[in-house]
Structure 1
Amino acid sequence: MRQKKLAADSLLKTMHSTPFLIADSGSTKTDWVAINPGSDMIRFQSAGINPFYQTAGEIIPVLENEVLPHLGDDIDSIFFYGAGCADEKSGRPVYDALKHCITSARIVETASDMLGAARGLCGHEPGLACILGTGANNAFYDGKNIVHSIGSLGFWLGDEGSGSYLGKTLVVHYLQNELPAALHQSFAAEYPEINRLSVLEHAYKKPYPNRYFASFSTFISDNIELPFINDLVREAFQIFIKKYICKHKDPEKYPVHFTGSVAYYYQDILKAALQKSDLKPGRILKSPLEGLVQYYL
């Protein structure tokens, strides 16, 4: 079976009669929902799946240990939206791993997490859809498909406003002694293992540097009321808005929707930044999965 671009019509043909599976995956976690017509939906999470960082052989254990225990043996179709699945070639490791592990599936389709976010956030209406989780992305969606995107350059060259960007910015401030004294002491007490060499090792030698830096979002969240941290988040959102949203044609005419944990937990700061740029805040969801289910149902 050849891998196909994710299409709404193929899902609509199968969903009312046979069990199917939808996934929304980022680099840190994957949200899944298994739908068996006539019975309840099963929702669960697994580790993130990203073919940019993982081979099929590395994805298979995640599926075997964290996904298969939640499923029956009758899944007919799988519709996977994921980071790193920009096209057929890039999404191939995910496709191969799913076909290997869920042998009952006649249809396995992959598409970008951006398309999943757009459909989950906008439904069948046009709008600007954005992701602010571990990574960052954006697109203008016409109610059916993505028609324009300001390409993300990933963790090392972009992802402004994301959890990995916020964590990286915080750690750099710490290592360069730029945090206020009390905040510096608090960070050092919570992360006594952090020093220049350990950070460089995680950044350049160990896998998933984006996840590593995004893990510092917990400290940011715990200290969000402090002016330095609040300004750090606000400035990151302003950069995201300027570099991405404002480069779309007439962005003020459409609602600007967001999904992802960073957007969700810091939505008050995000909404204020949007309004300062004369933009209309839209839906802000932790995950687009619920919207995806509604989109197809």
Structure 2
Amino acid sequence: MSSKHILIADSGSTKTDWAIVNTEAGNYQSVQSAGINPFYQTAGEIIPVLQSQVIPAIDDDILEIHFYGAGCADEKSGMPVTDALKHCFPSANVVEVASDMLGAARGLCGHEPGLACILGTGANNAFFDGNRITHSIGSLGFWLGDEGSGSYLGKTLVVHYLQNELPEDLHDSFVKQYPGLDRLTVLDHAYKKPYPNRYFASYSRFIAENRTHEFIQTLLGNAFGLFVKKYILKHSNAAQYPVHFTGSIAYYYQDILRSVLESNGLRSGRILKSPLEGLIGYHRADLKA
């Protein structure tokens, strides 16, 4: 097989992980850029990200691109990303822009059936039959859903703080770490400034630093329990297949997450920080087929 370089991306609202894959040598180079989400960005805003953060790492023509991202639910919604990629990589013969959910499913399940879930800045889920997504309990995004995600956890924590519901020791730690934070500042970030999901997700750092606190343990368990109830258990065949997860929240709190799954009679599968490694294998296999 002649040398072929393909570009694979797994993008969320906060960051994008890229793999520049040399299919002949069997190796790849990893690159990270800012998050790309066409729900918030135009092609004109995406192009500078590619030019400054991705292209400098590439020294070969890219012949094939597979971009999986938040906000790329269908061809129309993903068009800003498609246009930006075609502009920056004119040598690419194939430019596939698909949902982060399909990327998670392919990366987690490979060609086997299972439930694939995302718990990062946002949250999502789908049943994958080994070939395609056949059923999903649609995510309602940051304001109306995303239970269990980093943005949901951060939002929940901040609400507890503003409503004086944190235990005294946790409240004092929060004030020390975020001095001067008040209701008006939070509301300004929530309703006036861009990327409120990223803003609230940033508070998940405090949760990580205090994860052994009983209040935080309960907050995490409740959030994951909501995700299971609202999304996973609504799949009629949930108990028959492994439930896989990807995303930083699922990865770093996998002990609590696995416990919640078990208590609901579910079988936990792979829990990966990123589906990129699985996606590299998935597309290599397709090229050899």
TM-score, normalising length: structure 1: 0.93
Are 2:118 and 1:131 aligned? yes
Residue of structure 2 equivalent to 1:31? 17
Q: How far apart are 1:36 and its partner, in Å?
A: 1.8
Q: How far apart are 1:182 and its partner, in Å?
A: 0.8
Give the partner amino acid of 1:50. N
Measure, in 2, the Cα distance between the counterparts of 1:16 and 1:129: 34
Contact 1:24 1:31 in 2 (8 A): yes
Measure, in 2, the Cα distance between the counterparts of 1:256 and 1:16: 37
Q: How far apart are 1:295 and its partner, in Å?
A: 1.6
Are 2:165 and 1:178 aligned? yes
Contact 2:5 2:60 in 1 (8 A): no
Residue of structure 1 equivalent to 2:222? 235
Give the partner amino acid of 2:82. Y
Q: How far apart are 1:100 and its partner, in Å?
A: 1.2
Contact 2:4 2:24 in 1 (8 A): no
Aligned mate of 2:89, from 92, 102, 111: 102
Are 2:55 and 1:68 aligned? yes
Contact 1:49 1:59 in 2 (8 A): yes
Are 2:239 and 1:252 aligned? yes
Q: How far apart are 1:16 and its partner, in Å?
A: 6.2
Aligned mate of 1:42, from 14, 29, 48: 29
Residue of structure 2 equivalent to 1:261? 248
Q: How far apart are 1:87 and its partner, in Å?
A: 0.5
Give the partner amino acid of 2:172. Q
Q: How far apart are 1:38 and its partner, in Å?
A: 3.0
State the secondary structure of the residue aligned to 2:224.
Answer: helix
Cα offsets for 1:180-237 (capped at 9, x unmatched): 0110010011011311011001001110000000001110000000000010011000
Q: How far apart are 1:101 and its partner, in Å?
A: 1.3
TM-score, normalising length: structure 2: 0.96
More off after superposition, 38-47 vs 53-62: 38-47
Contact 1:152 1:158 in 2 (8 A): yes
Contact 2:66 2:97 in 1 (8 A): yes
Structure 1 residue runs without a partner (length 5+)? 1-14
State the secondary structure of the residue aligned to 2:19.
Answer: strand
State the secondary structure of the residue aligned to 1:197.
Answer: helix
Residue of structure 2 equivalent to 1:7? none
Aligned mate of 2:69, from 75, 82, 86: 82
Measure, in 1, the Cα distance between the counterparts of 2:64 and 2:262: 41
Give the partner amino acid of 1:89. K
Contact 2:68 2:99 in 1 (8 A): yes
Contact 1:78 1:109 in 2 (8 A): yes
Give the partner amino acid of 2:275. P
Measure, in 2, the Cα distance between the counterparts of 1:107 and 1:296: 13
Measure, in 1, the Cα distance between the counterparts of 2:23 and 2:236: 41
Aligned mate of 1:207, from 179, 184, 194: 194
Contact 1:223 1:229 in 2 (8 A): yes
**Identity over the aligned pairs, expressed in percent?**
71
Measure, in 1, the Cα distance between the counterparts of 2:74 and 2:59: 29
Residue of structure 2 equivalent to 1:118? 105
State the secondary structure of the residue aligned to 2:259.
Answer: helix
Are 2:258 and 1:296 aligned? no
Give the partner amino acid of 1:114. M
Aligned mate of 1:58, from 36, 45, 55: 45
Measure, in 2, the Cα distance between the counterparts of 1:201 and 1:264: 31
Measure, in 2, the Cα distance between the counterparts of 1:193 and 1:284: 37
Contact 1:25 1:31 in 2 (8 A): yes
Measure, in 1, the Cα distance between the counterparts of 2:9 and 2:84: 14
Measure, in 2, the Cα distance between the counterparts of 1:295 and 1:104: 22
Measure, in 1, the Cα distance between the counterparts of 2:242 and 2:188: 41
Residue of structure 1 equivalent to 2:287? none
Contact 1:85 1:110 in 2 (8 A): yes
Give the partner amino acid of 1:19. H
CA RMSD of aligned residues (A): 1.0
